[in-house]
Chain A
Amino acid sequence: MWCGNIRRRSAGCQQRGFWPSFLEASVKNAHTISSQSPISPSPPQSEQEVDKISLLVFITFSVRSQDIRNTVGNIPMEWYKDYPHIGYDLDGKKIFKPIRNKDELDEFLDKMENPDYWRTVQDKMTGADIRLSDEQVDLVHRLQQGKFGDVNFNEYEPAIDFFSNEVMIHPVTNRPQDKRSFIPSLIEKEKVGKLVHAIKMGWIKPRRPKETTPQYYDLWAKEDPNSILGRHKMHVPAPKMKLPGHQESYNPPPEYLLSEEERLAWEQQDPEDRKLSFLPQKFACLRAVPAYSRFIHERFERCLDLYLCPRQRKMRVNVNPEDLIPKLPKPKDLQPFPTTQSLVYRGHSSLVRSISVSPSGQWLVSGSDDCTVRFWEVSTARCLKTVEVGGAVKGVAWNPNPSICLVAVSYDDTVVLLNPGLGDRLVCTATDQLISSYEEPEEVMDQSVQWAVAEGEGHEQGHRLILKHPKAVRQVTWHGKGDYLACVMPDNGSSLQVVIHQVSKRRTQNPFRKNKGLVQCVSFHPIRPYFFVATQRYVRVYNLIKQELTKKLMANCKWISSMAIHPGGDNVICGSYDCRLAWFDLDLSTKPYKVLRHHKKALRSVAYHRHYPLFASGSDDGSVIVCHGMVYNDLLQNPLIVPVKVLKGHTITHDLGVLDVTFHPTQPWVFSSGADGTVRLFT
């Protein structure tokens, strides 16, 4: 600020308004110094300071000579701007501003004409114009240049070090040394005593010996030099390159050069198909060979190869696919089982829905949609008897008791018990007597099924008892003792889906009060008083004595079609419409022990053999699959299931193939009935 103002002024831009501030500052300095100077008239002041003071003294003196001393003190003089006076003098009288009537023109004229205009400044304290002397102008100039105000001041005088690194002969001070510098320190002694005490007490432990083991060790120091290292084993040698031949030469024999057609063919080929990766070229001399144009490209590809090269040798797993197959005995070792079609029982004109074999194994009964039931001789395929009934036959079941000769036939809403009159004559007559000897009980029970004795022509044909049900009967099945007969009437909305008849007492009971889904088939346990009910997805096992649900088997399939109980009673197979056959081990779990998916289409029927470890399934794809299903007496051993034979013979009619399968009671033979109206025997 200080310098800038002065410079501006020296540049000729003379604004008078700035000058008072300059002077005010200088006056202020003059004041402070002047107030100081009487107190400390210390002679060793620098020359510069002396010079400054002299200048200010001079200025104050020049003001004093007019004897106008302003007493307002160090205040901004703007405060007096609007007043006619500018302050007060020592006597307390107003110091009036000098009359300034100069206008702009006068100012301009003064500037033009007055040669001292540039060195004239206004004193703010008094408002008077002052003309600066030459010395003052010089001083201002020097200060403007950043020099000291005093001309004679040498700022670069040689410095004298009083305290230097050099040891002097004489001390800096003359003071004698203290006494304490000659006697041992008590504080130190106390400190040492404390340390010694701490060491004695064991508070301070001696420093731990330094660890001698090095921080870094040789990784390969203990390596056995004779062992084959993994790294060496993994070494993949680079493929051997072919040595360059004549074709790669810069001057190949002419037969290696490609003709025009060959060259065109080469260019049209895919780069991968080319036999040669380059075109052989001929140059007169090695100097004429140009730089390799694909150099960068090739280097890049080489880098890419190195980068993408597999760093690990892939251990190829050499597994023989044969080993992955579970070890199963060969079907050859599981003889006997049915292998070939032996007999065809022809006679039905429509699809045969159900078949059953007599307990002796001599006769076969089949029920068909042509409203007939036929009895066949098993060994010759001779139809011995045809019985007409009043509707398409849905189910037939031969009484398993060898001392009773009865066949249950279901059609529409009726179940008829037939006496076929085959087999032992005594048994047949005994059966007739058993039925006719029935006596009506005193109190007639209200039953949902009406029992009637067949008479007239029906009796001639073999009809003995007629059971009228409220709904269509789909399946009939006998209990192993031959007295109870279960019938299935599938119905989604009613609780009357399964009824159990007792033939000797002509009684009917409905074992279930609730509807738990559409019943597909039912079966009696061969030994124990259990009853199996298969609904669409579950098989429920009921205890008939305790009258409670014992087990619920989850079949994991969409729609169960058929069910068979192993003669041992601990295993159940279920066929389903989604081509699966589920084997349940009742002791194991409620989930299937094994699920077989060998059929291509929906399963219609499954059956167990009574003695041989065989089971069979018939499907809509026209085939019967026979499996070996060995159940061991040892509870720890799971059943062995091996599919052994696919039996084909039935032709597919209306998208239906095999509708029922059943085994011969004594021989390893399986019967199947089909939609083509035949029954076939496989042996």
Chain B
Amino acid sequence: MSQVQARFFTENKKYLIDDVPFSIPAASEVTDLSGVINKLLEAKNDGHKHVEFDFLVQGQFLRTSLASRMETENISTEEVVEIEYVEKFTAPQPEECVMHDDWISSVEADSEWILTGSYDKTARIWSMEGKAVMTVAGHTDVNLYNGLSSLLLTASLDQTIMLWEWNSERNKVKARHCCRGHAGSVDTVAVDPTRTKFCSGSWDKMLKIWSAVPTEEEDEIEEPNRPRKKQKTEQMGLTRTPLMTFSGHNEAVSSVLWMDAEELCSASWDHTIRLWDAETGGQKNTITGSKVFNCISYSPLCRRLASGSTDRHVRLWDPRSKDGSLVLLSLTSHNGWVTAVRWSPSHEHQLVSGSLDNVVKLWDTRSCKAPLYDLAAHEDKVMCVDWTENGLILSGGADNKLYTYRYSACVLDAGA
């Protein structure tokens, strides 16, 4: 088996070559194949510059030699092998390293601002260049999660969620509402796509849906026999009570997200991921895993759920499937608990995960054995990751540092 008949194709019009089978040595690897494609392209148009390519055989990235791959996949050597080639993803470029005073528990970014929550009981707003813009201090305890532009949400171990209004021109933050109702630390919040509601998950096993619209006079009924509390609420904004409470989990809720405007998804320590109807509060589906779920992420592009749990694996689930305990794919390379996962907002195959082994990994689901890139900048546990629309990867951890990476390849590839 020295020669293999192969036909190369790509979806990128820029690098199109003739649709004829080539005979290539079976022992050739990615660099050899890349050389072949570059030679062909050079022969076709003179102005071609050298480009590194990656190759997919039957939808999986080629990482070993072609021969061994065909052997493991049981591909007949008699037939013509269809090989897809894409431009190789360039490594994410580290941009900023932002120091915090304490561990970073959560991070969220949009195209302009970065919002981080920290264990020093504050949330901070940073510009993209890493300048501290605003410090939001108000929680009496460790600070956790956050939300949308101009309106900020912070959830805390002190069992409250605060809704802040931030005026970026005047750079002032005002606490609008203090959402009370949880009987345990609030571990996760998520804003629905319409930005009128948000959902929170807590250690008290409950999911609560709150209104995200700030109102002036909406001071909800407070029990009259607690004058001290009353005083506090006046300082910290108007008290708000939940619109709806979903109970069903047997253990703490670790992560919650909106799949669309009507559907909620929550992951819990009771080894389940549950799908809820946000309107009626009914459970639609349950995915049962074998370990505690730390985090979930949903990609509308590929309609898959990615979960990180208290073992080494990132698992992909199909939320629509009825037999909800089937793992589609598990990505195994971490050495510690996976504490954070985030799908790429623009690429249907890519996701990023952070783990207790201090490493952030960039994955492509077409290569489940090994990640595309390891981002090993953290010196301690990675607690949170985020991926913005404009191709910025952020990760924060127990070493008090927030790292940002520019990942350009996905932007280029997005059109494909």
* Residue B337 interfacial (CB < 8 Å): yes
User: Please, which residues of chain A bring their CB within 8 A of the CB of B119?
Assistant: 382
Chain A residues numbered 666-683 whose CB sits less than 8 Å from any CB in chain B: 666-667, 683
Nearest-neighbour CB distance to chain A for B288, whole angstroms, equals: 13
Q: Complex Cα distance A635/B391, Å?
A: 63
* Residue B336 interfacial (CB < 8 Å): yes
A342 touches B269 (CB 8 A): no
* Residue A336 interfacial (CB < 8 Å): yes
* Residue B278 interfacial (CB < 8 Å): no
Q: A360-B184, A360-B203, A666-B269 are in contact. Are A381 and B381 (CB under 8 A)?
A: yes
Chain A residues numbered 416-474 whose CB sits less than 8 Å from any CB in chain B: 423-426
Q: Digitize A360-387: 1 where CB-to-B-CB distance is under 8 Å, 0 elsewhere.
A: 1010000000000000000111101000
User: Please, which residues of chain B bring their CB within 8 A of the CB of A666?
Assistant: 251, 269
Nearest-neighbour CB distance to chain B for A509, whole angstroms, equals: 35
Q: Complex Cα distance A683/B119, Å?
A: 25
Q: Digitize B290-308: 1 where CB-to-A-CB distance is under 8 Å, 0 elsewhere.
A: 1110100000000000000
B103 touches A424 (CB 8 A): no
Considering only CB atoms, which chain B residue lies closest to A426 in the complex?
A: B183
Q: A336-B290, A380-B381, A380-B398 are in contact. Are A424 and B336 (CB under 8 A)?
A: no
The secondary-structure label for the interface of chain B is: loop
Considering only CB atoms, which chain A residue lies closest to B105 in the complex?
A: A380
Q: A342-B337, A666-B269 are in contact. Are A424 and B311 (CB under 8 A)?
A: no
A425 touches B356 (CB 8 A): no
* Residue A343 interfacial (CB < 8 Å): yes
B336 touches A342 (CB 8 A): yes
* Residue B185 interfacial (CB < 8 Å): yes
* Partner among B183, B252, B310, B311 whose Cβ is within 8 Å of the Cβ of A362: B252
* Partner among A336, A342, A362 whose Cβ is within 8 Å of the Cβ of B356: A342
Q: Complex Cα distance A360/B336, Å?
A: 23
B269 touches A425 (CB 8 A): no
User: Please, which residues of chain A bring their CB within 8 A of the CB of B142?
Assistant: 382, 384
Nearest-neighbour CB distance to chain B for A333, whole angstroms, equals: 14
Nearest-neighbour CB distance to chain A for B162, whole angstroms, equals: 15
Q: Complex Cα distance A519/B260, Å?
A: 62
* Partner among B105, B204, B251, B381 whose Cβ is within 8 Å of the Cβ of A424: B204
* Partner among A381, A382, A426, A683 whose Cβ is within 8 Å of the Cβ of B310: A683
User: Please, which residues of chain A bring their CB within 8 A of the CB of B184?
Assistant: 360, 362, 423-424
B203 touches A667 (CB 8 A): no
Q: Complex Cα distance A423/B158, Å?
A: 8
Nearest-neighbour CB distance to chain A for B314, whole angstroms, equals: 16
* Residue B146 interfacial (CB < 8 Å): no
User: Which of A336, A342, A384 gathers most chain B CB within 10 Å?
Assistant: A342
Nearest-neighbour CB distance to chain B for A243, whole angstroms, equals: 57
Considering only CB atoms, which chain B residue lies closest to A342 in the complex?
A: B337
Q: A342-B310, A384-B142 are in contact. Are A362 and B185 (CB under 8 A)?
A: yes
A343 touches B356 (CB 8 A): yes
Q: Complex Cα distance A362/B203, Å?
A: 8
* Residue B383 interfacial (CB < 8 Å): yes
Considering only CB atoms, which chain B residue lies closest to A667 in the complex?
A: B292
User: Please, which residues of chain B bring their CB within 8 A of the CB of A426?
Assistant: 183
Nearest-neighbour CB distance to chain B for A160, whole angstroms, equals: 138
Nearest-neighbour CB distance to chain B for A74, whole angstroms, equals: 143
Chain A residues numbered 326-366 whose CB sits less than 8 Å from any CB in chain B: 335-336, 342-343, 360, 362
Q: Digitize A627-666: 1 where CB-to-B-CB distance is under 8 Å, 0 elsewhere.
A: 0000000000000000000000000000000000000001
* Residue B388 interfacial (CB < 8 Å): no
Considering only CB atoms, which chain A residue lies closest to B337 in the complex?
A: A342
User: Please, which residues of chain A bring their CB within 8 A of the CB of B404?
Assistant: none
User: Please, which residues of chain A bring their CB within 8 A of the CB of B185?
Assistant: 362, 423
User: Please, which residues of chain B bring their CB within 8 A of the CB of A343?
Assistant: 337, 356
Q: Complex Cα distance A426/B226, Å?
A: 12
User: Which of B158, B310, B381 gathers most chain A CB within 10 Å?
Assistant: B310
* Residue B159 interfacial (CB < 8 Å): yes
A382 touches B203 (CB 8 A): no
A380 touches B269 (CB 8 A): no
Q: Complex Cα distance A336/B271, Å?
A: 12
A683 touches B311 (CB 8 A): yes
A382 touches B103 (CB 8 A): yes
User: Please, which residues of chain A bring their CB within 8 A of the CB of B336?
Assistant: 342
User: Please, which residues of chain A bring their CB within 8 A of the CB of B310?
Assistant: 342, 667, 683
User: Please, which residues of chain A bring their CB within 8 A of the CB of B105?
Assistant: 380
User: Please, which residues of chain A bring their CB within 8 A of the CB of B290?
Assistant: 335-336
* Partner among A336, A360, A424 whose Cβ is within 8 Å of the Cβ of B159: A424
User: Please, which residues of chain B bring their CB within 8 A of the CB of A381?
Assistant: 381, 398
Considering only CB atoms, which chain A residue lies closest to B183 in the complex?
A: A424
Q: A362-B185, A424-B184 are in contact. Are A380 and B383 (CB under 8 A)?
A: yes
Q: Complex Cα distance A423/B141, Å?
A: 11
User: Please, which residues of chain B bring their CB within 8 A of the CB of A342?
Assistant: 310, 336-337, 356
A667 touches B269 (CB 8 A): yes
User: Please, which residues of chain A bring their CB within 8 A of the CB of B159?
Assistant: 424-425
Nearest-neighbour CB distance to chain B for A383, whole angstroms, equals: 10
Q: Complex Cα distance A382/B381, Å?
A: 11
User: Please, which residues of chain A bring their CB within 8 A of the CB of B356?
Assistant: 342-343
Q: Complex Cα distance A437/B232, Å?
A: 24
Q: Complex Cα distance A667/B383, Å?
A: 21
Nearest-neighbour CB distance to chain B for A357, whole angstroms, equals: 14
Considering only CB atoms, which chain B residue lies closest to A360 in the complex?
A: B203
Considering only CB atoms, which chain B residue lies closest to A341 in the complex?
A: B336
User: Please, which residues of chain A bring their CB within 8 A of the CB of B204?
Assistant: 424
Q: Complex Cα distance A683/B336, Å?
A: 10
Q: Complex Cα distance A271/B285, Å?
A: 86
User: Please, which residues of chain B bring their CB within 8 A of the CB of A360?
Assistant: 184, 203
Considering only CB atoms, which chain B residue lies closest to A427 in the complex?
A: B183
User: Please, which residues of chain B bring their CB within 8 A of the CB of A425?
Assistant: 158-159
Chain B residues numbered 342-401 whose CB sits less than 8 Å from any CB in chain A: 356, 381, 383, 398
Considering only CB atoms, which chain B residue lies closest to A362 in the complex?
A: B203
User: Please, which residues of chain B bring their CB within 8 A of the CB of A683?
Assistant: 291, 310-311, 337
Considering only CB atoms, which chain A residue lies closest to B159 in the complex?
A: A425
Q: Digitize B183-199: 1 where CB-to-A-CB distance is under 8 Å, 0 elsewhere.
A: 11100000000000000
Q: Digitize B154-189: 1 where CB-to-A-CB distance is under 8 Å, 0 elsewhere.
A: 000011000000000000000000000001110000
Q: Complex Cα distance A666/B205, Å?
A: 13
Considering only CB atoms, which chain A residue lies closest to B184 in the complex?
A: A424
User: Please, which residues of chain B bring their CB within 8 A of the CB of A362?
Assistant: 184-185, 203, 252
Q: Complex Cα distance A18/B159, Å?
A: 159
Nearest-neighbour CB distance to chain B for A358, whole angstroms, equals: 11
Nearest-neighbour CB distance to chain B for A681, whole angstroms, equals: 10
Q: Complex Cα distance A424/B292, Å?
A: 22
Q: Complex Cα distance A335/B142, Å?
A: 35
User: Please, which residues of chain B bring their CB within 8 A of the CB of A384?
Assistant: 142
User: Please, which residues of chain B bring their CB within 8 A of the CB of A667?
Assistant: 269, 292, 310
Chain B residues numbered 236-278 whose CB sits less than 8 Å from any CB in chain A: 251-252, 269
User: Please, which residues of chain B bring their CB within 8 A of the CB of A424?
Assistant: 159, 183-184, 204
User: Which of A335, A380, A426, A666 gathers most chain B CB within 10 Å?
Assistant: A380
Q: Complex Cα distance A379/B383, Å?
A: 11
Q: Complex Cα distance A380/B383, Å?
A: 8
Q: Complex Cα distance A379/B204, Å?
A: 15
User: Please, which residues of chain A bring their CB within 8 A of the CB of B292?
Assistant: 667
Q: Complex Cα distance A393/B381, Å?
A: 29
Q: Complex Cα distance A381/B310, Å?
A: 13
Q: Complex Cα distance A384/B310, Å?
A: 21
User: Please, which residues of chain B bring their CB within 8 A of the CB of A379?
Assistant: 294
Q: Complex Cα distance A381/B292, Å?
A: 16
A336-B291, A343-B337 known; 20 new pairs, CB 8 Å cut-off, are A342-B336, A360-B184, A362-B184, A362-B252, A380-B103, A380-B105, A380-B383, A381-B381, A382-B119, A382-B142, A423-B185, A424-B159, A424-B204, A425-B158, A425-B159, A667-B269, A683-B291, A683-B310, A683-B311, A683-B337
Closest 7 CB pairs of A and B: A424-B183, A683-B310, A342-B337, A362-B203, A425-B159, A667-B292, A424-B184
> Would you list 6 pairs from A and B whose C-beta atoms are within 8 A, ordered by A residue?
A380-B105, A381-B381, A384-B142, A424-B159, A424-B204, A683-B310
